[in-house]
Amino acid sequence: MTVSAADKMQCAERELKYRRRIYVRLVERGKITQALADRELELMDAIAEDYRKQVAQERLV
């Protein structure tokens, strides 16, 4: 099975969207700190951005 950059980008985008929803509740319940939630979102957004750039570059080739 081949996994393309576009597949990985879509997965990272879905994960980012999910985390944005769930982290709000986790912070409200005291399960994680806001700082940790912010950092995790920043990291996942950076991963998604890497794949966005890779997909854009592949489309130019």
**Domain boundaries defined on the chain:** 5-60
CA distance 36 to 42: 10
pLDDT band at 61 (very low <50, low <70, confident <90, very high): confident
Average pLDDT over residues 5-12: 96
pTM for the whole structure: 0.87
Q: How confident is residue 1, by pLDDT bands cut at 50, 70 and 90?
A: confident
